Amino acid sequence: MTALIGPDTTDPRSAADRQHRPIASALPQGLVSLLDHEQHAHTLLPEAVWAYFNGGAADETTLRANAQAWQTLELLPRVLRPLAGGHTRVQLLGRTLAHPILVAPMAHQGLAHPHGEHATALAAAALGAGLVVSTQASTRLEDVAHSYLPDADRGPLWFQLYIQPDRGLTCELVQRAEAAGYEALVLTVDAPVQGARDRERRAGFVLPAQVSAANLTSMPVPTQALLQPGQSALFDGLLAHAPTWDDVAWLRSITHLPVLLKGITHPADAVEAVRCGAAGIIASNHGGRTLDTIPATARLLPRVVQVVQGDVPVLVDGGIRRGTDVLKAMALGASAVLVGRPILHGLTNAGATGVAHVIRLLRDELEMAMALTGCRTLADAHLTLA
């Protein structure tokens, strides 16, 4: 037992139970919404892990605003419209998706369930949800692909990338993703440094020994920069290797895969992303985990969509908790949405079964919202906002 987990009195699952849990287990009774999943998962996870998964930066203003902004948007139903033969299908990067719900990249899913990303991949594939695998996954990217790709009804498989200070290591990650069958790269551009995650620090979160970034085992141990008097450990040390727009061009030059940029919030950056040849944009504030008081993504999305003018698809994440939220995102011009923390809650509650249930709930709610607002397809979503 690690110091993170603490004694069994603080965690209702014993160490042996956690280690030998099946990849899919029975869904606990009474879970009929994503909020139910969240509340039940909170009873299962150690408080430090809960703080890591669910906390945000600083005062968590943006974290709260993300969900609240979707709730504030109002739907105005149309009635007596023809709905027979309706569907949730969308087109994205040359593929037809059964629905516009993708699993966002999330690190260290082994903290939620011993099968981690493997369970998430099985569930996402079975439910036709796209899957974005984190560089900091607790499962090797090849193993996740092996779990996801064989399903005939799966969505797209993408690999989320942080450009490493060692370009050789970045090239290695890209080559591994290509060889494993990943279909796009998602470059995270909004986190050159970690945000001030007060809740994590108060809880004393540290990674336990049994969970690590499985794709970064070859990363060299960082050395302390030699600073001159008056220099900043951040600006003159860590950020000396922070990526720039030139790195986006370099990344595109070493891969045949389309590159999407995740973390675009400013319209000017959206324009630059298109100029640099990005295949898509993900409007994201990192789930409120980096810079606090950034506007909610529901507010940012229309500005990004407006300047991109349809040149590339724009996806959005942050605070999606209901099928009505998905419909509202599509109404604002999104091509698809990414869902993060609710997936971790489902994973905690019942492994692959829990993840599948979360995705199913969102899709069912999306279909109900479409029917009740008079949308036969998501091409009609723009008609739904009050």
Which member of 286, 345, 357, 382 is catalytic? 286
Nearest Cα to 269, choosing from 299, 298, 248?
248
User: Which tokens is 223 given?
Assistant: 């050395």
Query: How many residues are there in the chain?
Result: 386
Catalytic annotation on 286?
yes
User: Which tokens is 243 given?
Assistant: 């990526």
Catalytic residues: 286
